[in-house]
Chains A and B, each alone.
Chain A
Amino acid sequence: MNKLIYDFALWVDGHASSTSLHESFYMYNWVESTHVLALMISLGMLFLIDLRMLGFALPGVPASTIARRLSVPMIFGFTVMFATGLLLFYAIPVRTSQSLWFRIKLVLLVAAALNAFLFHRRMLSAPTGWDHQIKAPRNLRVGAALSLLFWALIVVCGRFIAYDWFDCQRDPSPLVGLLAGCLDGQTVF
């Protein structure tokens, strides 16, 4: 599996546009800045929804109204964030695919998506009458708390990708090497 990922990353890395994007100071930084600014929009909206469910924000506004109205800018932010995230991967495919933090981030992203799906389903099936209460029902509060936790960890992992502590070329421990997908004898990092 790791060999397959490495080969795919090498194939992406072979594209001239990947190298151009990586080496373009302004373009790469614009993409990264847009990624972070989109993160602020999407997470800003998501955190407000979660905090409303937990009873820490906008108590006077019906919870489902907040969730419904803020989900539009949130999805817009997530779309931009996802697109720019793909571009960031495209620019540095080999190192990113072998970054331990990137891999943890992907797992957390899947967990966050699953949690969002379950949260949405629970919200639709929740009995009526909770909308105007300061706190949402317990199962929704758990979903909101998990969402805050997952996204906080995703941001931390995203930040850590920039650091080379566990990079393959630094000869990490066998366990880290295995988790990061480092290969024996690889020449491109």
Chain B
Amino acid sequence: MPTALPFPRTVSTALLLALGVYFALSEIRIEWYASLRPFFEWMETTAFGRLGKSYGGAFALVQAMHLLSMAVLGGTVLVSDARLMGIVLKNVPINQVLEPCHRLFNCSLSLVVLSGVFMACGVAIKVYYLEVFWYKMLALAMGVLFAYFVRRPLLKPSAEAVPQRLRTLVGVASLMTWFTVAATGRWIGFSG
């Protein structure tokens, strides 16, 4: 009788990332990139795109909302990862910190994505040609995959049962990924 693969979601995520690297280095990426151009042109014609282009105030307000939701997201990531590493709230059981942080993380991520889509619609053609935009999308995809398919399945049953060294590793990887998301996002504003 075949035995079940351990950590199936983690293994699938690793395979997905490997596939992503292959895709990034192969010819397929160039063809795919060119075929995306009509989609970005369409984005600018949507209601979000028209609103973002015509009303600077609306665009700036959504930008501020994006920043605020990023702050909440950053806060939840920082606190839960620092707890994983044993830096803050050491006397509080790990899952008592991780669970509520995860719920807030879900809400803030939804707002980040929603406001991000609005902003991208307003400047779709511009960001299409920005290399840093694609880095950000890659980092965001990695952050989301890591959060939902590696970090959470590993720690949800009982984070205390996971060795401290592994918890630290997970915390560092998560912090680095979300830092990259924020930093590349900031750099989009300076490019193009």
Residues of A19-55 contacting chain B, CB below 8 A: 25, 29, 32-33, 36-37, 39-41, 43-48, 51
Say whether B67 contacts A48, CB under 8 Å.
Answer: no
| Shortest distance between the CB of B131 and any CB in chain A (Å) | 16
Q: Measured between alpha carbons, how far is A43 from B75 in the docked complex, in Å?
A: 7
Residues of B35-76 contacting chain A, CB below 8 A: 56-57, 60-61, 63-64, 67-68, 70-76
Say whether B60 contacts A44, CB under 8 Å.
Answer: no
| Shortest distance between the CB of A163 and any CB in chain B (Å) | 6
Binding site for B on A (CB under 8 A): 25, 29, 32-33, 36-37, 39-41, 43-48, 51, 56-61, 65-66, 69-70, 73, 152, 155-156, 158-160, 162-163, 165
Binding site for A on B (CB under 8 A): 56-57, 60-61, 63-64, 67-68, 70-79, 82, 88-89, 91-92, 96-97, 100-101, 104, 179, 182-183, 186-187, 190
Say whether A60 contacts B71, CB under 8 Å.
Answer: no
In the bound complex, residues from chain A placing their C-beta under 8 Å from that of B71 are 39-40, 43-44, 47, 155
| Shortest distance between the CB of B94 and any CB in chain A (Å) | 11
Binding site secondary structure of chain B: helix
List 17 A-B residue pairs with CB atoms under 8 Å apart, sorted by A's residue number.
A33-B183, A36-B67, A40-B67, A43-B75, A44-B78, A48-B72, A48-B104, A60-B96, A69-B89, A73-B88, A155-B64, A155-B68, A159-B61, A159-B63, A159-B64, A163-B57, A163-B60
Say whether A44 contacts B72, CB under 8 Å.
Answer: yes
Closest to A158 in B: B64
Q: Which of A61, A66, A73 has the most CB of B within 10 A?
A: A61
Closest to B75 in A: A44
Q: With A57-B100, A60-B100, A61-B97 as known contacts, state yes or no: A41 contacts B68, CB within 8 Å.
A: no
Q: Measured between alpha carbons, how far is A44 from B74 in the docked complex, in Å?
A: 6
Q: Measured between alpha carbons, how far is A61 from B101 in the docked complex, in Å?
A: 12
Q: Which of B75, B91, B92, B97 has the most CB of A within 10 A?
A: B75
Say whether B88 contacts A36, CB under 8 Å.
Answer: no
Q: With A37-B183, A40-B182, A57-B104 as known contacts, state yes or no: A155 contacts B78, CB within 8 Å.
A: no
Report which of B73, B96, B187, B190 forms a contact with A61, defined as CB distance below 8 A: B96
Say whether B60 contacts A159, CB under 8 Å.
Answer: yes
Report which of A47, A69, A165 forms a contact with B56, defined as CB distance below 8 A: A165
Q: Measured between alpha carbons, how far is A159 from B64 in the docked complex, in Å?
A: 6
| Shortest distance between the CB of A82 and any CB in chain B (Å) | 16
Report which of B56, B76, B96 forms a contact with A48, defined as CB distance below 8 A: B76
Say whether A33 contacts B187, CB under 8 Å.
Answer: yes
Q: Measured between alpha carbons, how far is A44 from B51 in the docked complex, in Å?
A: 29
In the bound complex, residues from chain B placing their C-beta under 8 Å from that of A66 are 89
Say whether A59 contacts B100, CB under 8 Å.
Answer: yes
Say whether B186 contacts A160, CB under 8 Å.
Answer: no
Say whether A73 contacts B78, CB under 8 Å.
Answer: yes
